[in-house]
Structure 1
Amino acid sequence: MPPTSNPTLRQRRLGVELRKLRERAGLTATAAAQLLGVNQARISMMETGRTPVSADRVRTMASAYDCSDQPLIEALAAMTGRRTRGWWEEYRDHVPAALVDLAELEHHALGLRAALVIHIPALLQTTDHARALFQAVVPPMHQYEIEHRLSHRIKRQGILHRDNPPQYAATVHEAALRMGFGGPVVTRGQLKHLLDMSELPHVTLRVIPFGTPHFHTTGQSVDYIQGPVRQLDTVQLDSHHGACEFLDAEVQLDKYCAVLDSMELCALTPTSSLDFIHRLLQET
């Protein structure tokens, strides 16, 4: 297969996991190349995601690296081949690359968790609410940029409406519900939409009210994207300059699982959370 000049996050992640398998086996790239009958440059290209890898090649590498974790091996084999031509590829020239990668990750996710303090989760935003957010960006976006971002965000939400959708659990602070982006009409529409989305069997929404004790957070939005096995989970953080940061080291996954668990423990139950949103809607 010809090399890829701009591998996706998913392709890069496959390469990283292949490198981890090699390093756990105590093999250098040169030694691995000799075992597999390829040159060292080929190993490097596979481990950076620049050369597509077949499923058979992944299984061969896992055997050479003495990996016996069959669920992980099969999960890696499922990530092989050329780039998936999903809808997100249409946006590669129109939105930041990280947003394209995020959409691809969400598409393949088995489960999603989110925790936000200031904003409504992107997958639960109305079109009007999302537009108000994009219009408030500093420096201002051009109108065509806003429309591309808006279209991309709405298409991301399609994963919650497809057949066999991922389980989605979001924890939102009361502050996010009261921010009022777009004005009262937009806010009411957004609150109603949260109630409607919460009726889906695979969507769980929790609210953390003001004054909740033992609430610890940096205020940063956290998305946890669950892969087919624990090793392939990914954490996505929104940085202060608007970009996406992806984390996948084991210690990072453990940390943000604990953060999400802590925030869920601070929150109202799903039923009480919906009652809370109903009351807030009546006040708005």
Structure 2
Amino acid sequence: MTTTTRPVAIVTGGAQGIGAAIARRLAADGMAVAVLDLNLAAAEDCVRDLVAGGATAIAVQVDVADEVSVASAVALVAEQLGAPQVLVNNAGVLRDNMLFKMTTVDWDLVLGVHLRGAFLMSRAVQSHMVAANWGRIVNLSSTSALGNRGQANYAAAKAGVQGFTKTLAWELGPYGVTVNAVAPGFIATDMTRATAERLGVTFEDFQASAAATIAVRRVGDPDDVAEAVAFFVGVGAGFVSGQILYVAGGPHG
């Protein structure tokens, strides 16, 4: 790819929160963006905002854990926007609980969306990237990959994403494709708000408590994550692959 070519980017879980911030950032960088989400109405809302700002974007419904759904979604993106050369695997869910309370349904759901989803999406787009001899895959991990009480499923999924990232970097590197991961810490989103509600504390107190443990003394914003993703997918990051970048306001990993 040359610097004058407009890449087509796919952002899963792109309808809101971190995903929407990433979609906005990539659109601002001149990419055509496919916002993929299980919630089609929310994805369409996001796309309306992007298009109103002058971007080229489409909304596509997908269940990233379903092989047929993924294949259909990627084919639709290729048909309507062109071959995808940037993939951000951001889709995720939380089903937190202590081990003795965690159900197999919640275990399978979280592993399915985060880890199986990243696998299915990456497998579906890699042929387009290999054909172009250029591509960027960014997977969303988390500081929870290092272990977090009450998140055995989420931690296992996010740790798995890191191993998956490093393996794909080896496999796809010879074809001009880089694969990296961004691992956010505490980011103020609807997901962390829901966690505060589950714990019975106000979101403001929850953020203040978290900020006190972070080196820069603030919680993160979705745009903080989007900036890191934008670096990894840029033309200038072609010699950076297989890396895990903790966007967490302090040293981790």
Both structures adopt the same fold (TM-score exceeding 0.5): no
Normalising by structure 2, report the TM-score. 0.30
Work out which of the two has the higher radius of gyration on C-alpha atoms and give 1 or 2.
1
